[in-house]
Structure 1
Amino acid sequence: MQAKANIGIFDSGYGGLTVFRSIANKLPQYNYIYLGDNARSPYGDHSFDTIYKYTLECVEWLFANDCELIILACNTASAKALRTIQQRDLPAMYPDKRVLGVIRPTAEVIGSFTSSKHVGVMGTRGTVNSKSYLMEINKFFPDLKVYQQSCPMWVPLIENNAHLQPGADFFVNEYCEQLMQQSAEIDCVLLACTHYPLLLPKLRNVFPDYIEILTQGEIVANSLIDYLKRHPEIEQKLAKDGDKRFYTSGDPEAFNAHASIFFGQALKSLKM
């Protein structure tokens, strides 16, 4: 039987495209479907139950479109919906399919990027309030001290293409200063939102040179490579035509106009 399954990449909006870009660069042979829930984005300030409901609906849509494996390329969805989906929904309804997130792969490696053992995590309110990074990092590196900072204005700035304008400097500086006030020993900062890599030019100007700024794209891509090696029963089902399809719950024209700054090239999406 010819392999026909896709890898699904899900995000509440555009940010997951930064992760998808890294995955597609490292694993170009597979077929992918990207789904952005732009009509209901951003997820960061929604309740646990709402984020779970939205995420499960999108996961089920991707399953219905022949996705065998789904990456939640969204920190908020990974923090607030992944565990329930993995432990309750998959065993009951989709026992042969898999859903992975972005928090655990990052937590598994973050300790190798710090000498001081003081690390900062910058994310949405939803991700920070879930304390998912605190719990996951503690499993792998219990000696690390983790300081969190929510950055509620960053996603709206990025989504409105205002993130590199001078007016964004106030909010970039404010959140970075609030993080560093928690500990002067921080030498590694994780951008725990897939939108935030677009702020790297400003962040590198704000943080001292000795601070390592981590983005998640390459980390998640390397973790997926390892996962597929360890799970040939999944890998063998995946089609290898190098096909990429993009869908949005919002307006495809608006998605197409904005998505290229995240994905690095022009793309054409369809309505979910």
Structure 2
Amino acid sequence: MTTWQWQTWQGKPYLTCSLLDPFSHGFFTRQFRPDTPRELVRVLDAEATAYRTQQVHGRAIARTCHLEPLASETVANLQPADGILTHPDGNTKESVWVCSADCTPVLIADVRRGCVSAIHAGWRGTAAKIVPEAIAAFREGGSLHEDLRVALGPAISGDLYQVSSDVAVRVGRSIVAVRDDTSDDEILQQVSTLPDSPVLPDSEPGKVRLDVRQAIRLQLERLNISPEQIAVSSDCTYQQSDRFFSYRRTGEKKVQWSGIVSQGS
């Protein structure tokens, strides 16, 4: 049975998921601010090399073999991408990192090959299928679907995340089969009638509530990733102000980090 467990490091809490065992990983909390990946990596594996990118709400997946290890936190020097995949044939351990406030941090591990990925998935990235893009990158490197484990970390809960109907339509197009002439209302209807739909009603005209983590889960299941290979945290960044920053709650651009370490050779 998959479990989410709170760990502590020097009295500060971070979250782990048993589905990703034995990979060193963590979904970190606001208590670790202002630590950066170069500093946080020592919590997971002090010998691992840290990598991050400049997140731009896109679907690009960067590979560590094309990146420089973190030498500073100057964003201008970072490659634009919202996902990072480790080099499967590396001789050293690599840690990959993404930051989030209300967006979904996704950590993926290949239990056979030892490579890992960290993904930042907001509604824009989810509509652009960034997580399926990461799965395709794993497959291109030789991974098999059955060897992948996917953990979706703390994010804003769907019942609290109000978005425009247009946003829900864009995400819905990534989940259900539609034609070019399918209307927005038809797409919303299709998505709303799905079991465990990611689209929830809202009392305000032209608005709905959107569960991004549920949308990602449905994308994965449509790629034949079984439910047993997917874990979804119930932790909400908006509600749990004692542990997480939330841009929707405060409007402040403060984030928490999530990272995972490859097994290396």
Question: Which structure features the higher share of strand residues?
Answer: 2
Mark yes or no: TM-score above 0.5. no
Provide the TM-score with structure 2 as the length reference.
Answer: 0.30
TM-score by length of 1: 0.29
